[in-house]
Structure 1
């Protein structure tokens, strides 16, 4: 009987990530930036695209040590031509594209559903769901030419239930991401592409702190941690670990899945 401890070639797993080329949409701040940083440290080639040219310039400066293994791009994920051009630039720079991580998306502090106007609905749906669709649409042909690859989309606990801090539009958009990724996994699996979603709880960081301050609910994170079986809230590093797993050959037979990163606050 084969020793199960020998079934993974760990060196090959590392080499696979080191040889990857990943585009991180929304990668100039927060979780996306940390994903990019960890991939670069592993030896991968990484591009980030972000709506804000100032954030792109800042991350280019911070990642200068990685030289030509890093590419920073400005672009709007809700504009098809921007996403098509971004994917083409990545392939021009690195010769291929093997991974896509979608972290982009706007949010607004929660208010009653009847007070959400059409413009705000469109902003949240476009940046979180339409952007994910356009990024996938731009990336898939290049992933296919590379012989396959991995797509990871950051959804949210809100997409599995609802959001205690954001609005109906955010929950709807993040639920839509789950459906999109399931469909992509089934349609493009035969060409060697895996697609999976991550559903974090509220991630501790500047964005969450600003949001709770705006809502005057600063103590909510303390209460949320008490309700979580693992006894704390979600950190960016928790999400990044799951992203790296889904990008790597460790998850080679995982596709169309939704991975909850919430400390057990939701179990289904």
Structure 2
């Protein structure tokens, strides 16, 4: 009997063959599962997540480079130039005096926003941000010894050769010039690495000092929270500090009284009792961490 003469039988046989082929993988896998069920084997090379390090973070690489270049600064001997010798890459630090800095009127909003963000994020108390951004009015100005006129209702800035920008606000105390605020930040990322603020001292009760949560918030704003091991360093001279062994980085905060001393031709020596806040992020190997001296 020819199957071609019985198309219904032929269709049925084809359908049965298709079903058998489709079921074969499932039957095979079921048999394999049954054979290995209840057995376990140790993976030879189990995956472990890599431990983050300071090299993984741009701002820490930049801070380390600046620290190394600052420590390697030395006078260059005066020798005859060799045209075949590659040019030396010198580190040029940011200038700190008012006369050597640039009027930063365009950066005033940057300063205001950055400090407000630090306050809103719990890094510093709002009053510190208010003291730092107390720009006064346009009538306040300093006249240098050379007769140059410097308005004091704007920040001044300087940039080093690695791209760190230092922004400052200057003010007058009985006509004597002093630094009221200083902030260093990375120009590429906007990460604040150093902050210094001066405030009037009207009693013995110090303004708020950033605690552990504030320092963790500072690390978070710098993009370093994923280092994951921030902890208070042992035997540290800083009452408020966090250290990351993974990142080889130290965050410190300090509020302390100080006496400002200046000079004017009219009044002579000028003094003022003030507070300062210092907040910084620095690269530190564990063996080089500051230690209390017994």
TM-score of the two chains, using structure 1 as the length reference: 0.30
Higher Rg: 2
Higher strand share: 2
Q: Which structure's relative contact order is higher, taking Cα pairs within 8 Å and 6+ residues apart? A: 1
TM-score of the two chains, using structure 2 as the length reference: 0.28
Higher helix share: 1
